């Protein structure tokens, strides 16, 4: 299978603490992948390294064969768990900011998504609820035309009803030949949109499998397996 | 379309069964167009590749057919739809018989219990039919 993202023996140390311990994995194109782990498991660290925001202490990571760095910026769109927008901005300013910044930004798609998300161009970013803020971040991240989307906790701050809307948007608006890695601890809510899942525990990938194979071979869902592995 | 999913079972099988039930019950008619992968994925909030797999399996079983450039349609062959009906009835029966056996019933007891229940059900329908005028009973 063709490889989109390749992570090879990546470790990350913060002071004396090992946040990632020799992680290796590869992801093909056209996949929605869940990166699942509890708080402090290293999942956000792995996302930040894949996004090129922080270098690994050792090991290598590449997208479409190019080492992650300057060259891969136009291949990856990253939705951080904290907003990148400024408080003075209105929704349209945030969109304009992204459009200025990224040549691959698709304004038409952004407008379509804003509409779907019930976001108004004149809304102040600072007055948005946490859930609406997440909708805006997701809109901005998915409106770029790239090969790899990295979404860090896209449904962390929203209530169960609004989660449905965000899942709907992810499935509706992601482009089919690109891949999406979603990191979350809300496994039950998200498991049905994944092709495959990775469990990360103490900086180590302890499982990486197709979700339907897990259901077929183990007769249980991802949430149940997650609870078993993480002993909740 | 909405489905109550059981996350512990393969999702593609659940969607396959859902579509088959819709065909058998007439909600989807022979020759009807079925939604695209993207539409159904968004409606059900399900991974698009899972929907793709569902459709591939339904095609393999000749329950739906692809018309190039037009989309997917429910088969127009009555015999196919009859076959799905039989298959689903077979599953129901199998579960029923197995459950009765677990309760300790012998096969001939099961047969007489079923025929009594069917007769009782028929009486009940006739009564209700009489009350409600000429309600169509199929």
Per-residue pLDDT of A124-136, as tens digits, reads 998 988 888 889 9
Find the chain B residues whose C-beta atoms sit closer than 8 A to any C-beta of A.
5-12, 38, 41-42, 44-50, 53
Binary contact (A188, B48; C-beta < 8 A): no
The matching CATH number, chosen from 2.40.160.20, 3.40.50.20, 1.10.287.110, 1.10.10.10, for B11-76 is: 1.10.10.10
From A167's Cα to the closest Cα of chain B, the distance in A is 6
Mean pLDDT is lowest, of A70-84, A152-166, A183-197, B7-21, for A152-166
Domain ranges of chain B: 11-76, 80-129
Hey, are the CB atoms on B48 and A176 less than 8 Å from each other?
Answer: yes
Q: Which residue of B lies nearest to A166 if distances are taken between CA atoms?
A: B45
Exposure of A29 by Cβ count < 10 A (0-12 exposed, 13-18 middle, 19+ buried)? middle
On chain B, the residues whose CB falls within 8 A of the CB of A222 are 7
For chain B, first and last CA: distance in Å? 26
pTM for the full predicted model: 0.84
SS3 (DSSP) at A180: strand
Sort out which chain A residues have CB atoms less than 8 A from B41's CB and list them: 171-172
pLDDT digits (tens, 9 = 90+) for A61-96: 999 999 999 889 999 999 987 777 788 899 999 999
Q: Give contacts of A193 with chain B, Cβ < 8 Å.
A: 45-47
Q: What angle do CA A12, A18, A21 make, to 5 degrees?
A: 65
Contact A147, A99 (CB under 8 A): no
Which pLDDT tens digit goes with each residue over A194-229? 999 999 999 999 999 999 999 999 999 999 999 998
Rounded Cα gap, residues A54 and A124, in angstroms? 31
The complex's ipTM works out to 0.79
Tokens 């799905």 map to which residue?
B84
Chain B residues with CB-CB distance to A219 below 8 A: 8-9
Chain B CB within 8 Å of residue A224 CB? yes
pLDDT > 90 in chain B, percent: 61
Give chain A's domains with CATH numbers: 5-230 (3.40.50.300)
Give the model's confidence band at B132: pLDDT under 50 very low, under 70 low, under 90 confident, else very high.
low
Taking residues A90-105, what's their average pLDDT?
94
């Amino acid at each position: 299978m063709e490889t989109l993202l390749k992570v090879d023996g990546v470790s990350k140390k913060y002071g004396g603490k090992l946040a990632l311990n020799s992680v290796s994995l590869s992801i093909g194109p056209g996949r929605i992948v869940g990166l699942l782990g509890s708080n402090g498991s290293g999942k956000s660290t792995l996302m930040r390294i894949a996004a090129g925001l922080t270098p690994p202490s050792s090991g290598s990571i590449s997208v479409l064969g190019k080492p992650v760095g300057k060259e891969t910026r136009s291949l990856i769109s990253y939705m951080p768990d904290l907003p990148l927008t400024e408080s003075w901005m209105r929704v349209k300013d945030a969109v304009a900011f992204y459009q200025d910044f990224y040549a691959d930004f698709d304004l038409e798609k952004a407008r379509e998504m804003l509409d779907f998300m019930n976001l108004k161009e004149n809304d102040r970013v600072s007055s948005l609820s946490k859930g609406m803020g997440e909708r805006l971040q997701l809109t901005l991240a998915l409106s770029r035309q790239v090969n790899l989307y990295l979404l860090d906790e896209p449904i962390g701050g929203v209530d169960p009803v609004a989660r449905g809307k965000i899942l709907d948007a992810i499935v509706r608006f992601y482009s089919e030949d690109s891949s999406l890695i979603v990191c979350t601890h809300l496994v039950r809510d998200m498991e049905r949109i994944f092709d495959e899942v990775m469990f990360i525990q103490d900086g180590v990938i302890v499982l990486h499998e197709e979700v339907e194979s897990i259901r077929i071979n183990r007769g249980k869902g991802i949430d149940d397996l997650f609870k078993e592995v993480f002993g909740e | 379309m909405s489905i109550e999913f059981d996350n512990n079972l393969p999702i593609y099988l659940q969607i396959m069964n859902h579509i088959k039930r819709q065909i058998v019950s007439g909600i989807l008619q022979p020759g009807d167009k079925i939604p695209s992968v993207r539409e159904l994925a968004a409606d059900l909030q399900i991974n698009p590749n899972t929907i793709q797999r569902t459709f591939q399996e339904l095609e393999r079983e000749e329950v739906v057919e692809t018309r190039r450039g037009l989309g997917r349609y429910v088969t127009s062959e009555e015999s196919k739809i009859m076959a799905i009906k039989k298959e689903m009835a077979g599953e129901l029966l199998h579960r029923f018989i197995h459950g009765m056996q677990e309760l300790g019933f012998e096969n001939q007891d099961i047969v007489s219990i079923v025929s009594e229940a069917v007769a009782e059900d028929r009486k009940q329908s006739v009564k209700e039919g009489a009350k409600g005028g000429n309600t169509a009973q199929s």
